[in-house]
Chain A
Amino acid sequence: MPAFIDPAALMRIKNLEMRAKVVVEGFFSGLHRSPFHGFSVEFSEYRPYTTGDDPRYLDWKLYARSDRCYIKRFEDETNLRCYLVVDRSRSMGYGSQGYTKSDYAATLAATLAYFLTRQRDSVGLLTFDEQVVELIGARYRPGQFHRLLTALERPPAGNATNLAAPLERIAQRVQKRGVIIFVSDLLAPLDLLEANLGYLRTRGHEVIVFRILDPAEIDFSFDRPAMFRDIESGRELYVDPEAARRQYLEKFGVHQHAIETICANLGIDFHQLTTDRALEFTLFDYLHARQRRGRHVMRSGSLGRTV
């Protein structure tokens, strides 16, 4: 196993760009030994010419050699359009590890953006809390990565989390099919989540959900009774963890199960990340998802190109 960087050490790097580069470089350095090596570009994209195909795309050289008409795919068409949808609400400001979920999510987003940029894919960004905060269109051009970093470095500010609005906005904005990477803690009511995700799916988008959670949110590892204050709303509640843990875990499990069910129903890749998990795993998760997606696409004869 490659040696991964401890997220706590990573988070001590103040510069988000540096953080992203460290992760991605480390990832690439380990990639050579990766069991997933070679699954990307070796697929030939020739297919027999059929009536109605644009004759411009005929591979004339092949025709000259073999006297068979094969259509050659445009390289231009194969570029990935990826939108990073990042939750910047205040609930993301919680962290028990010395850094917040928001920090982790920003690093994750920056890492993915850098990774995709290095592959010459166009990357866009949408941040939201109870409404859409910032929307940067997917481009591949110099400076795009830095614009994304600037938007990601803004501190979380929203008082609530509205999961429906940004998905709706993305659906409206992004006409071309692409990959939507949804980074959030999903600690919000799930009423419209299924409808909007389904809408994205029906538009042909590929959706990957990264759920960022703090370890304390998963096992509720508090031991002292205390007044618990909601970071978003400021509401206070006296809770004795000993007494409330069981019920918390129960409700949390129900919530998570609901999310997983929605994602499974819609064919969405769902990954739950805790902030103490190395970011490289995230990239593996991503690539893993892409790979499965690619197989699925190939089987279904889609034009979608895997990385």
Chain B
Amino acid sequence: MSFLTPFYIAGLAAIALPIVFHLIRRTPRGNTPFSSLMFLVPTPPRITRRSRLDQWLLLLLRGLALALLALAFARPFLREAAQFSFNTSPGQRIAILVDASASMRRDDLWRQARQQVSEAVRNLSPADHVALFTFDQNVATHIDFSEEAETDPKRLVSLFERRISEVVPSWQAGDLGAAIANVADRVESLDHASHTESDVAKRIILVSDFAEGAPLEALQSYEWPAGVELEVKRVAPRISGNAGLHLVGEWIEGESPNDGGSAAYASTSYRVRVTNTSDSSTDQFQLVWKNSDDQPSGGVTKLYVPPGQSRTVTVARPPNSTATRLMLEGDSHPFDNTVFVAPLRREELTVAYLGSDSSDDPQGCRYYLERLFSATTSRTVRFLTPQIHEPLEPLDGSPLNLVVVAQSLEENRRDQIQQYLQRGGRVLFAAIDGPALDSIAPLLGSEAPNVSEAKVDDYILLGQLDFSHPLFSPFADPRYSDFSKIHFWRYRQITLEEPSSSLPDSAYRRVVARFDSGDPALIEQRVAQGRLFILTTTWRPADSQLARSSKFVPLLWGLVGAAPTERESFHYVGAVLTLSSSLGGSPKVVQKPDGSEIAVAFEVGHFDDTDQPGLYRIGDRIFGVNVDPAESHTAPRELEALEQYGIRLTGERQRQDAAQRERHLRDVELENRQKIWRWLLAVALVALVAETWLAGLRSH
């Protein structure tokens, strides 16, 4: 027996009314004047005898009538009959999204996450549809809705448990916002795909540590689908707080070593930042260098970092050490306590200049080139000026990166350049005048290009630029694409035949830049594997303002081929490693930190399988790949942060409320069917009639 409006049961207290009235009747009303109290003694109110109930039957009948009235108002119904089905609801569409970022490697978080998944699947009703996703930088689908639909419902739990047990948290940073948006889209888009009604309740169960470091910015511009709810099942480690170690900067102390290689280990300093989360309980840490055998190397740097703060310190690698790892000790969660540092290596560049001007002549070309190709901390540059009788390439056999020509070419020199080009070299030809341009014509594969000095009234600008070309692609951004401030006064016109389609790819030619008169400004000509760039003007002050432009340096460094500076220890897990073209033309083998080797084709030019922190060896280069600093911010984030993005959060309480509402509706329905209150009312009336009759009988 249950009650629809149990509040009315309080009316049962009215049964006490007849008794109370009886007792009230017995209490003195006012006072009675009497002539003298000299013969009276006070008597305590005695209720035993005077309050004795004489009319038990009447009292019972009245109490019964009142009780029945109260019960009738409470609208009783029988719960046992509540077996008609409410399972005709269409069920829910639930996406379980599990955080598999590096911070989930802490403690037993992953075990908790698996439990949460298992629990969520167990709590499903048969009509629900469920899918399983994990995310770090990207979202991975482990079980999609269609696979779930084909699975026997009895095996559903074991399927989910098996799949989630196959997943291991990655080392990547988790893009929480993007993952939520992605999965919400998938849950929502199923409606459009299957043309079903969208009144299915849609819910995302997010199993995550919901750390502060997980970015939500992707949700900023995302319009949350109206029908989707998000339920966060937070997992938390037993020990709160986390300290992280991250690389901020590196440099080589002292003189630049000439021999490069391992000598660079000797004198490198690193600036690292140690962060400590606000919910941490420890504040004493130490930094230790360790070599590949996990043996400590050198001394210990002690640090004091209060919770919620960070400290940046400079640590030098111990002299003559082969340590490749800097470790933070004193933290209970070690996943982000190691920084792998690649040996800092100076790149060597060799540039040959063919020209007649001297190095101190600001009117010439060489003056600007020498200053442009100067040494930096990360690279050394050899600037060669081979004389007419000297060979083009250096005698010691070191590779020549670039040849810049600013004169007319002799025939034998032209042959040397052609050979150099065919070996894969790069040549920039700056046409100082018409005859000089004429002298390079044979390399263009065109017998008689029409070359003349152009007539420029005042000045001319670069008109068309091919920003898809690697040389200009760095300037493709509108912020950098303004070349209109570079004025040209003199240039050489060259009329080239359209390259015939019969030419092989190795003789491919294209105009990379044109003046606004339509004449070519920069022509790229492939010669075998080499590339010849012909500039129809020069950067001499007499010809143009190019040397004074901010575009000049990146343009010419782009010719050398390497990115200006690539910091090899500043990669995070999941990053793409760019393989420099200067590394040679053969397929490269990447050795991963766990020892496995992966071959990468030359054409690919990059390596994106950086799935763990450590040192990646590619040829003679070593890349240090570390955990993203964002993952170290593991302090739990408030759930309200999600509501700011318009996400409908749901939780245990909300679901209980909904269940309560549903139960109430069902109760109303049952009560309406049974209408027990009518019977109670009828019996109450009978009791009242009997009471009236009995009372009349007694009073006579």
Is chain B a partner of chain A in the same complex?
Answer: yes
Which residues of A line the B interface, CB within 8 A?
Answer: 91-94, 101, 185, 187-188, 214, 217, 222, 224-233, 235-240, 242-244, 247-248, 251-252, 255
Contacts of A225 in B (CB 8 A): 26-28, 43, 45, 50
Contacts of A226 in B (CB 8 A): 28-32
Contact in complex: A255, B39 (CB < 8 Å) = yes
Is A240 touching B33 in the complex (CB atoms < 8 A)? no
Known contacts A226-B29, A228-B31: A251-B46 contact under CB 8 Å: no
In the complex where A225-B26, A226-B28, A240-B50 touch, is A235 in contact with B37 (Cβ < 8 A)? Answer: yes
Given A228-B33, A251-B38, 7 more A-B residue pairs with CB atoms under 8 Å apart are A91-B36, A214-B35, A217-B35, A227-B31, A228-B31, A232-B36, A239-B40
CB neighbours (8 Å) of B27 from chain A are 225
Whether a CB of chain A sits under 8 angstroms from the CB of B697 is no
A243 to B35, CA, bound (A): 19
**CB pairs A–B below 8 angstroms (25 shown):** A92-B35, A93-B35, A187-B35, A187-B36, A217-B35, A225-B50, A226-B29, A226-B31, A226-B32, A228-B31, A228-B34, A229-B31, A230-B36, A231-B35, A235-B37, A236-B31, A237-B40, A238-B43, A238-B44, A238-B45, A239-B41, A242-B49, A243-B43, A247-B39, A251-B38
Residues on the B chain within 8 Å of A231, using CB: 33-36
The smallest C-beta distance from A103 to any residue of chain B, in angstroms, reads 14
The chain B residue with its CB closest to the CB of A243 is B43
Note all chain A residues with C-beta closer than 8 A to B30.
226-227
**Which 10 pairs across A and B sit closest by C-beta, in order of nearness?**
A227-B31, A94-B35, A251-B39, A226-B32, A91-B35, A187-B36, A243-B43, A240-B43, A226-B28, A230-B37
Q: Which of A92, A239, A244, A252 has the most CB of B within 10 A?
A: A239
User: Is there contact, CB below 8 Å, between A185 and B35?
Assistant: yes
Taken together as a complex, chains A and B put the C-alpha atoms of A222 and B43 apart, in Å, by 14
Q: By DSSP majority rule, is chain A's interface helix, strand, loop, or mixed?
A: mixed
B29 contact set on A, CB distance < 8 A = 224, 226
Chain A residues whose CB sits within 8 angstroms of the CB of B35 once the complex forms: 91-94, 101, 185, 187, 214, 217, 230-232
Within B1-51, the residues touching A (CB, 8 Å) are 26-46, 49-50
Q: Name, among B28, B37, B44, B46, the residue most crowded by chain A CB atoms within 10 Å (CB to CB).
A: B37
| CB proximity of A157 to chain B, nearest CB, Å | 15
Does A238 lie within 8 Å of B34, measured CB to CB? Answer: no
Q: Which residues of B contact A (CB under 8 A)?
A: 26-46, 49-50
Cα of A233 to Cα of B36 in the assembled complex, Å: 9
A93 contacts which chain B residues (CB < 8 A)?
35
Docked Cα-Cα span, A231 to B36, in Å, equals: 7
Whole-angstrom CA separation of A229 from B34 in the bound complex: 6
Residues of A contacting B43 with CB < 8 Å? Answer: 225, 238-240, 243-244
Which secondary structure dominates where chain B touches chain A? loop
Taking a contact as CB atoms under 8 Å apart, the answer to whether A227 and B39 are in contact is no
The answer to whether B41 touches A244 (Cβ under 8 A) is yes
A222 surroundings in chain B (CB, below 8 A):
32
A242/B50 contact (C-beta < 8 A), A227-B30, A227-B31, A229-B32 known? yes
Residues of the A chain whose Cβ atoms lie less than 8 Å from the Cβ of B31? 226-229, 236
Q: How far, in whole Å, are A91 and B28 apart by their CA atoms in the complex?
A: 23
Chain B residue, CB-CB nearest to A248: B39
A38 → B minimal CB distance (Å): 41
Measured between C-beta atoms, what is the minimum distance from A257 to chain B in Å?
13
| CB closest chain-B residue, reference A92 | B35
Give chain A residues whose Cβ lies under 8 Å from the Cβ of B45: 225, 238, 240
Bound form: Cα–Cα A248–B42 in Å = 11
- Nearest-Cβ distance from residue A214 to partner chain B, whole angstroms: 7
Q: What distance in Å separates the Cβ of B24 from its nearest Cβ neighbour in chain A?
A: 13
Which residues does chain B contribute within 8 Å of A233, judged by CB atoms?
37
In the complex formed, the residue of B with least CB distance to A227 is B31
Q: How far is the CA of A229 from the CA of B32 in the complex (A)?
A: 6
CB distance from B41 to the nearest CB of A (A): 6
B236 to chain A, nearest CB (A): 69
State how many angstroms separate the Cβ of A221 from the closest Cβ of chain B.
Answer: 12
Which residue of chain B is the closest to A236 with respect to CB atoms?
B31
Give Cα A233 to B28, complex, Å.
Answer: 21
B365 to chain A, nearest CB (A): 128
A228 touches B26 (CB 8 A): no
A219–chain B nearest beta-carbon distance, Å = 12
Looking at the assembled complex, report how far the CB atom of A89 sits from the nearest CB atom of chain B, in whole angstroms: 9
CA distance A76 to B597 in the complex (A): 165
A237 in contact with B33 (CB, 8 Å): no
Task: Check if B46 sits within 8 Å of A228, measured CB to CB.
Answer: no
**Please, which residues of chain A bring their CB within 8 A of the CB of B32?**
222, 226-229
> Chain B nearest CB: distance from A91 CB in Å?
4
Shortest A138–chain B CB gap in Å is 30
Contact B36 A239 (CB under 8 A): no
A42 to B439, CA, bound (A): 197
**B39 adjacent to A228 (CB under 8 Å):** no
**Least CB separation from A91: chain B residue:** B35
Query: Which A residues are CB-close (under 8 A) to B44?
Result: 238
**Residues in chain B near residue A91, CB distance under 8 A:** 35-36
Output the nearest chain A residue to B31 by Cβ-Cβ distance: A227
Contact between A94 and B34, CB atoms less than 8 A apart: yes
Residues of A within 8 A of B50 (CB): 225, 240, 242
In whole angstroms, what is the CA distance A92 to B26 when docked?
A: 30
Q: How far is the CB of A56 from chain B (nearest CB, A)?
A: 55
The closest CB in chain B to the CB of A244 belongs to: B43
Q: Report A-chain residues with C-beta under 8 Å of the C-beta of B38.
A: 187-188, 251, 255
The interface residues of chain A lying within 8 Å CB-to-CB of B41 are 239, 244, 247
Contact present for B46 and A248 (CB under 8 Å): no
Docked Cα-Cα span, A230 to B33, in Å, equals 6
Q: Tell me which residues across on chain B come within 8 A of A188, comparing CB atoms.
A: 38
Residue numbers in A under 8 Å from B40 (CB-CB): 228, 237, 239, 244, 247-248
Report Cα–Cα, A251/B41, bound state, in Å. 10
Complex-state Cα separation, A187 to B40, whole angstroms: 13
Contact partners of A187 in chain B: CB under 8 A: 35-36, 38
B220 CB to closest chain A CB (Å) equals 81
Residues of B within 8 A of A247 (CB): 39-41
Of B26, B27, B40, B42, which is in contact with the most chain A CB atoms at under 10 Å from its CB?
B40
In the assembled complex, the CB of A264 is this many whole angstroms from the nearest CB of chain B, namely 22
Looking across the interface, which residue of chain B has its beta carbon closest to that of A232? B36
Q: Are A238 and B28 in contact (CB under 8 A)?
A: yes
Shortest distance between the CB of A230 and any CB in chain B (Å): 5
A247 to B32, CA, bound (A): 19
Bound Cα distance A200, B424 (Å)? 165
- Distance between Cα atoms of A238 and B293 in the complex (Å): 102
CB-CB under 8 A from A224, the residues of chain B are: 28-29
User: Please, how many angstroms separate the alpha-carbon atoms of A185 and B39 in the complex?
Assistant: 14
Task: List the A side residues contacting B33 at CB < 8 Å.
Answer: 94, 228-229, 231
CB pair B42–A238 under 8 Å, yes or no, is yes
Distance from A232 Cβ to chain B, minimum over Cβ atoms (Å): 7
Whether B28 lies near A227 (C-beta < 8 A) is yes
Q: Which of A94, A237, A240, A252 contacts B46 (CB 8 A)?
A: A240
Cα A242 to Cα B32 in complex, Å, equals 15
Closest beta carbon of chain A to B541's beta carbon, Å: 126
How far, in whole Å, are A94 and B30 apart by their CA atoms in the complex?
17
CA A232 to CA B35, docked complex, whole Å = 7
Q: Which of B29, B30, B34 is the most central at the interface, judged by chain A CB atoms within 10 Å of its CB? A: B34
